[in-house]
Amino acid sequence: MTQRIWNFSAGPAVLPESVLEEARENLLSLGKTGIGILEHSHRGKAFLAVYEETEALVREVGGVPAGYKVLFLQGGASTQFFQIPMNFLSPDQTADYLVTGSWSEKAEEEARRFGKTHIACSSQDKNFSYIPATSSFSEKPVYAHYTSNNTIFGTQWPGLPPVPAGVDLICDASSDIYSRPIDVSKHALIYAGAQKNLGPSGVTLLLIRDELIERGAKNLPTMLQYRTHAKNESMYNTPPTFAIYLVGLVLKWIKKDGGLPAVGERNQRKAGKLYSYLDQSKLFKATAAVGSRSQMNVTFVTGDADLDAKFCSAATKAGFDGLKGHRSVGGMRASIYNAFPEAGVDALIEFLKNFEAENGK
Ligand SMILES: Cc1ncc(COP(=O)(O)O)c(C=O)c1O
């Protein structure tokens, strides 16, 4: 058995070991088919069964109500930054953006190519270290877009943003999809790259209201219209079959584990332990404001860039990988998505304690 280390990568990220083992078994032959999962035609019976099961699990685990389509697309969440306004925003209309980090900034910038945008709130004044308590919306936005978890800055919306009744809410949930229970019915569209909580990179999951699909522009290239993918069960062209298969395995693992309520509780406990340690530490400090802290990406600093670098280097040597913070925040970031084991959080806390004992003032 290969020795695995604690992987705090922000994405692609750690996957459940049991999922990787099952995938390995099916690489040479998916079940008894004699053909590996990577080699099956997307039109064949074997893959269609995988697809149907994954789609059903997306619905069951996420509590996706009737009236929503599940789509598996490509191009990453970054493609959704432009595909959404391309479909729904015209030059004389306004879309509202809640700007809580670099990813929402990017989404808003792309929207400006197609129509007007209004910044309903922004936490840029404090380097995106908090989630704004209030927002101010434009008069008639065609939609309001928010990023539920800000991967880089370690903040997360504690609940739904306060959007006026009747405004279609769109969420980039790339870094907290299915990490806690979600109310899909409050959204017109939720999208997420799978590579943090749900599987490998290469597939973007969309939960989209049927009525919104119909509203999309009709003069776009075929591949950029949501209706194309909706009509063809995400198989207008060749879908990312292996990524879809893995998403299915991860969802089965979540379901067996007690579903989103249990996963959410565990994620809360994992992050809670880490924040509790940081809050009493005299060396380390969490960078996100209390009340806005992410359960997925815990960002922290010592306040001394050299000491941060020393910590990261010592951590890597001790088998804790991927802890270096994003350059826009500096310091450290521990990404502890669904599949990151609680034992790894405990081990990190021990390591932090020892480092503090040796390097604290
Ligand atoms: C919140 C968020 N949105 C969007 C993206 C971009 O996703 P992709 O690389 O799948 O385009 C990321 C990537 O880390 C992210 O964290």
Which residue shows structure tokens 């001394």?
304
Question: What residue ranges of the chain are covered by domains with CATH 3.40.640.10?
Answer: 17-256
In whole angstroms, give the CA distance from residue 187 to residue 255.
23
pLDDT at residue number 1: 60
Query: 360: pLDDT confidence band, cut at 50, 70 and 90?
Result: confident
Task: Specify whether 6 is catalytic.
Answer: no
Q: Supply the residue whose CA is at minimum distance from atom 7 of ligand 1.
A: 77
CB contact set of 193 (below 8 Å; sequence gap of 6+):
11, 76, 77, 174, 201, 203, 204
Write out pLDDT tens, residues 52-69.
999 999 999 999 999 999
Task: Specify whether 157 is catalytic.
Answer: no
Q: How far is CA 326 from CA 40, 63, 69, 96, 350, in A?
A: 38, 33, 34, 27, 23
Write out pLDDT tens, residues 141-176.
999 999 999 999 999 999 999 999 999 999 999 999
- The token pair at 43 is 């039109």
pLDDT at residue number 256: 98
Question: What residue ranges of the chain are covered by domains with CATH 3.90.1150.10?
Answer: 259-359
Pick the CATH number of 259-359 from 2.30.30.90, 2.60.120.920, 3.40.50.10800, 3.90.1150.10: 3.90.1150.10
Residue ranges lining ligand 1, Cβ < 6 Å: 11, 76-78, 103, 147, 151, 172, 174-175, 193
| The one catalytic residue among 6, 69, 157, 196 | 196
Pick the CATH number of 17-256 from 2.60.40.10, 3.40.640.10, 3.40.718.10, 3.20.20.80: 3.40.640.10
Write out pLDDT tens, residues 211-226.
999 999 999 999 999 9
In whole angstroms, give the CA distance from residue 282 to residue 207.
44
Q: Give 345-361 as a 3 state SS string.
A: HHHHHHHHHHHHHHHCC
| The one catalytic residue among 96, 168, 172, 308 | 172
Q: Supply the residue whose CA is at minimum distance from atom 13 of ligand 1.
A: 174
Residue 343, judged by CB atoms within 10 A of its CB (0-12, 13-18, 19+), counts as exposed
Task: Specify whether 172 is catalytic.
Answer: yes
Q: Supply the residue whose CA is at minimum distance from atom 4 of ligand 1.
A: 77
Q: Supply the residue whose CA is at minimum distance from atom 5 of ligand 1.
A: 77
| The one catalytic residue among 6, 69, 96, 103 | 103
